[in-house]
Structure formats: structure tokens, C-alpha cells
Amino acid sequence: MKIGKNMVVTMTYTLRHNDEQGEVIQKVDKDRPFVQLFGIGTLLPAFEENLSGLEKGDTFGFPLAADDAYGQSSDEAILELEKKIFEIDGVVDTEMVAEGKMITMQDQHGNPLEGKVLAVKDESVIMDFNHPLAGEDLYFSGSILDVREATAEELDHGHIHGPGGHHH
């Protein structure tokens, strides 16, 4: 069975900066493989394109330029927010809202958005909402452990159920 739209793919991979010899960013092994539903828009399109057509047992290795991965860093993703929005019961948690900390927030549509605190001022907090790998060229290598068709329920819910997936 080949990787394509609406297929559940189980794989291992190593993600590196730049190329095959680059610094390891993330390693996913057989003990806790990556299990994902392909073709529904949750993965980088160029990542899916490079894996499309592969089968169980196949190995892969491919670069992704920053523009095909998480894009370039943008000054527009750096925002100065009122400190009040970080208050809980009128108090800002200074351990959570501290320079260098990652904070999960929501965009105007209620979607989760990770931001890094760049600076804490008297009345505001400067946050960077660029993806941590924005501006980085990446290299993926790994192997395909399994490929199967997604169930109707998985397609309806938009995620995998069972081992390596979501449990209701």
C-alpha cells in the first residue's frame, strides 16, 4: 500500500538542521513512532510530497528549504501585547511570563498559537509567534514502518485512533 491522501502512516525519522550532517533537532524512533493521517492539511505540504508513493519498508532522506518548511521569520509575528492579558485573578505569573519562556495562546479564531516571550516590560510583553524553525533549512531522514487506509471515523474526526493516535 502506498502513502497518499487519507492514509495512516507510521514512521521513524530524524530531523536535522540544513543537511544529512546537520545538528539533530528531533529524533523519532520505533519505540514511539510518528503516526499521522496524510492529506488532510496537518503536515507540511512539501513533507507529504516527499513521502507520497512510498510503502512500508521504504527509507527516505530529503531536504526542505525554509520556504517549503516553516517559512522565513517575520517581524509581523513579533507583537507587543498588554500585560493585562496575562493576568489570572489580577496577577501575572512571573515564572510563566518570563523572557525565553514558551506560552500557548489563542489567535482571533481560537486556534492555539505558541509564542516565545522576548521581553517583559512594565505594561507589556513582547512575544515572538514565528515558528521556532522559521528561517531554517531542514533535512528529514527515516523509514516507513506501516501504511494503511484511514477508517471512516478517523477521517471524520481528522486524527488517528488507537496505537500512536488519539483515544476517546
Q: List the domain boundaries for the chain.
A: 7-70+135-157, 75-128
- In this structure, CATH architecture of domain 75-128: Beta Barrel (2.40)
**pLDDT 10s digits, 37-68:** 998 888 999 999 999 999 999 999 999 999 99
CATH of domain 7-70+135-157: 3.10.50.40
Grid cell at residue 132? 521556532
pTM equals 0.80
Q: How far apart are CA 35 and CA 160, in angstroms?
A: 7
Give strand pairing partners of 139. 16, 63
Q: Which run of H or of E encompasses 16?
A: strand 7-17
Per-residue pLDDT at 164: 59
Grid cell at residue 164? 500512536
- pLDDT exceeding 90 applies to what percent of the chain? 77
| DSSP for residue 90 | T
**pLDDT 10s digits, 97-121:** 999 999 999 888 888 899 999 999 9
Contact status, residue 142 vs residue 12, Cβ threshold 8 Å: yes
